[in-house]
Structure formats: structure tokens, C-alpha cells
Amino acid sequence: MLGVLRHRTYRRLFAAQVIALLGTGLSTVALALLAYRMAGPQAGIVLGTALAIKMTANVLVAPVATAVLGRFPRRTVLVCLDVVRAAAAFLLPWVDRIWQVYLLVFLLQAASAAFTPVFQATIPDLLDDEDDYTRALSLSRLAYDLERLLSPALAAGVLALVGLGSLFLGTALGFLASALLVLPAVLPRPDREAGTLLHRATAGVRRYCGVPRLRGLLALHLATASAGAVVLVNTVTTVRGELGGAEADVAWALACYGLGSALIAVTAPRVLRHVPERPLMLGGGALSAVVLLLTTAIPAGAGPWRWPALLAAWTLLGVAGSLVLTPAGRLLRRSGDAARRPALFAADYALSHACWLLTYPLAGWLAEATTASTAFVALAALSAAGTVLAAHLWPAREPDELEHDHHGLDPRSEHLRGARPGRTAGTWRHAHRYRLDELHPAWPR
């Protein structure tokens, strides 16, 4: 898996990603502490609102920012967005009004929502070989998982030596270090797409929803978000309230979730050489639903078995989520050319976060209004529905070459070499490996 790091430019980008992720992890801890410092007992409301703002920025900003920034050199865009993120993080410890926290959180997350799709769309342009790209996806997933495991420990170490402001300073330095790593990198110039701003901002979502495999991916995002929301929202109440565990036990449970995800990230490149994405990803969605359903017995049960059962369940949910998320980039890469890829990545980023925006409050509200077991059953049903819908939307047989018609294309065009006349006048029919590009603006039906 580490062989892909021989690629010098990708190595720089991966290092930038890792450092920025550590900075983001520090800011997550620091934001919770800042909310408590400013609001005291009302900190939960402040933090919940800030997280809702982050998710809203992810959903709304990514497609628009990709359309606006797609006409500028990628290196310039990535560096400038890192600087914006660093400035927002640096200013956070100096605020004295809650609305200022909300404003800076939105600014920081808006920059991240613009940064991530551009960054993700750059990697397949750098790595032509699919095996190398799969290794890069696995490394990226592993970086996210390790950030979840290491950031809280790193934050605790920083707080033991210095104050809260240093956590935000660490975040700012992480983003600046990311910018410095990207600055000397030679990145491919993006192909500029024509059309109005509104057309370009909505094109990614329209194209994404027009590709059968990507419609299936969206349904699987809903399945994994349902399971992930249970872990991230309900772990603390389940461990501390239902099981009577200590604060450290909460960290251990979350660590098991990250460990399960990391296990798949490490093994995915080898597995994907022999197993197609569809059965692997549908298996991840089904595993999420089944494990969530079985987990309903933990809050309602009694006995010492509940704690190891929870750790095992959280590990399996991490495995299930990574089975879906690690190969997802391969589907996006295969569905569009270099000009359309950034918009597809932005659409995936926005739509997947929309799933989390739905499941986060649902997991918390159901557990509060009813019981933890009821919340687990409801989210398990939503996860199962997402998986079944994905199996329906994503065709079981996806031929490498798709037959399709061209209308109005010059018959002497090189692209039509070997094509035969279509069923209607002026059309030509042929088959080849299909992806969205200038000559193929929509998926064939």
C-alpha cells in the first residue's frame, strides 16, 4: 500500500492531508472546550449549533465553490483555502461572543468544503494506474481513522502543557504546514467547463444522480451514515448511562470503531483486485444494518457480556463503513473525465454530508425521546432501506462497454469510427467504455 508514496507529488499531498487532519482533530476538541468556557451549562446547545453549521456548510458550499474555483489553478486554490482555514482557527480563541464562534466555524468549514473536493479530484489525475489510485484511497481512509484515534490523545498532551489557545494555534499551524507542502507541488491544470455559474454549480449533482452506480453510492452513504451516527452520537450515553462505564471507556469504544475502519483501509487494495466494488460495498451496507439491529440488545440487556459486545459491534460498524467509503472514489473516478470529476466529487461530498445532517439529529432525538434501543432499531431500519435501495439502483451487471447513440455528431468524426447507423435518422450507434465527458454529457438509458 505504501508503494504509491514513491510518487513525489502525491507524497506531498498526502503529507499535507495528514497534517491538516491532525489540526482538524485538535480543533474538534478545542471547540468543545471553548463552548464550555463561553456558555457553561449551555455548552451542548452551542456545540450542537456549531456542528449543525459545519454540516450545513458542507452541503451548501461544496458544489458552488467547485463551480467558482474550478477556473483557477488548483495549487493556488488549495493554498489559499488552507490560509483561510488557518486564519479562522487562529482567531477562534480570541472571540468573546457566541455569534463570532458560529461565524468563524462557518468560515473554516466552508473553506474545508471547498478544499476537499478539489483535493480529492486531483489525486486520480496524478495517479493513472487504478491499483495506485486504490492504494491512495486506502491511505486516505487510514489517515482519517488514525486522526480519530490520535487527535484526542494529542490534544490531551497539549492541554497538559499549555492552554486552550494552543490547540487552536496547533490547528492553524497544521493548515499552514499543509499550504507549504502544496505550494511547491506541480498539479495538473483543470479543464475548464463552459456554462453559467448556476449551470456549473448544479451540474455535479445532476450528473451524479444520473449515473446508476452513483445513485447506489448515495443510498449506501445513507446506510453508513445511519450506523455512524449511532456510534458518534450515542456512544457516550450508552457507555456512561446504560453500561455505567468511565470516561475512558467512551474513548475505547470510539477507538474500536476507528480500528475496524482502519483494518479495511489496510486490506482494501488487495481485496479489490479480486472482488468488484458492488458486492463489497453492498456487503458493508448490509453489515451496518445487521450489526445495528443486534446491538439493540445491549442497552436493554444485563450482565458483563454487554461491554465486550459493544466493543465488538462498534468494531464491525467501523468495518462496514470502511467497506463502503474506501472504494467510493473508484466509482467517481470511473464515471467522469478530468473536467467533470471535480463536480462529481463535490456532489458526493455534499450529498454524503446531507445524509449525516439527517442521521445525526435523528440518532440524538430518538434516543432522548424514547430509548437507546428504539433509536438503534430505527437507524438499523434506515440503514437496511439504504442498502436495499442501493441494490435496486446499482445494476448487478455493469458491462465495461455501453451501447449508446450520438445525435448530430459529424459522421466523419474520429469518435464514430466503426459506428453503425442508429434507429432514427441522423443518429449513430456504437459501444465503448463509457464516462461523462464533452461528447457524453448524460448517462445512456
pLDDT of residue 305: 82
The pLDDT confidence band at residue 47, using thresholds 50, 70 and 90, is low
Q: CA nearest 255: which of 202, 218, 310?
A: 310
Q: How far apart are CA 352 and CA 151, in angstroms?
A: 23
Phi/psi for 263 (5° steps) reads -60, -45
203-395 adopts what CATH topology? Growth Hormone; Chain: A; (1.20.1250)
Structure confidence by residue, pLDDT tens digits, 64-118: 888 888 778 888 999 999 999 999 989 988 888 888 888 888 898 899 888 988 8
Query: Over 60: is that where the pLDDT of 214 sits?
Result: yes
Query: Which residue did the predictor score with more confidence, 398 or 291?
Result: 291
Query: Over 70: is that where the pLDDT of 184 sits?
Result: yes
Parallel/antiparallel/unpaired status of strands 401-407 and 420-421? unpaired
If you average pLDDT over residues 116-131, what whole number do you get? Answer: 85
Quickly count helices (H) and strands (E) in the chain. 15, 3
Q: CA nearest 429: which of 400, 395, 406?
A: 406
Q: Where are the alpha helices (DSSP H) in 336-371?
A: 341-369
Q: What is the pTM of this model?
A: 0.87
pLDDT of residue 247: 63
Q: What's the mean per-residue pLDDT of the chain?
A: 84
* Angle ∠(35,40,41) on CA atoms, nearest 5: 115
pLDDT of residue 292: 93
Query: Over 60: is that where the pLDDT of 1 sits?
Result: no
Query: Do residues 142 and 265 lie in contact, with contact meaning Cβ atoms separated by under 8 Å?
Result: yes
The pLDDT confidence band at residue 42, using thresholds 50, 70 and 90, is low
Sequence-distant (6+) residues with CB within 8 A of 252 are 311
List Cα–Cα distances, 168 to 26, 28, 102, 317, in angstroms. Answer: 7, 9, 15, 31
Q: How far apart are CA 407 and CA 401, in angstroms?
A: 19
Query: Over 60: is that where the pLDDT of 44 sits?
Result: no
**Out of 1.10.760.10, 2.60.40.1180, 1.10.3720.10, 1.20.1250.20, which CATH number does the structure's domain 1-185 have?**
1.20.1250.20
Query: Over 90: is that where the pLDDT of 352 sits?
Result: yes
**Local structure of 189: helix, strand or coil:** coil
Q: How far apart are CA 434 and CA 403, in angstroms?
A: 9
Structure confidence by residue, pLDDT tens digits, 230-280: 888 788 777 777 778 776 677 788 888 888 988 998 898 888 888 999 999
DSSP 192: P
Structure confidence by residue, pLDDT tens digits, 294-336: 988 887 666 778 889 989 999 999 999 999 999 999 999 899 8
If you average pLDDT over residues 117-122, what whole number do you get? Answer: 86
What is the distance, to the nearest Å, from the Cα of residue 314 to the centroid of all Cα atoms in its chain? 19
**Local structure of 237: helix, strand or coil:** helix
Q: How far apart are CA 165 and CA 184, in angstroms?
A: 30
pLDDT of residue 120: 86
The pLDDT confidence band at residue 217, using thresholds 50, 70 and 90, is very high
pLDDT of residue 179: 93
What's the grid cell of residue 110? 466552508
What's the grid cell of residue 197? 455559474
The pLDDT confidence band at residue 395, using thresholds 50, 70 and 90, is very high
Query: Over 70: is that where the pLDDT of 137 sits?
Result: yes
Q: How far apart are CA 116 and CA 103, in angstroms?
A: 20
What is the distance, to the nearest Å, from the Cα of residue 315 to the centroid of all Cα atoms in its chain? 19
The pLDDT confidence band at residue 222, using thresholds 50, 70 and 90, is very high
Q: How far apart are CA 148 and CA 159, in angstroms?
A: 17
Query: Which residue did the predictor score with more confidence, 2 or 72?
Result: 72
State what percent of residues in the chain have pLDDT above 90: 25
For the chain, residues classed under CATH 1.20.1250.20 are 1-185, 203-395
DSSP 417: T
**Local structure of 191: helix, strand or coil:** coil
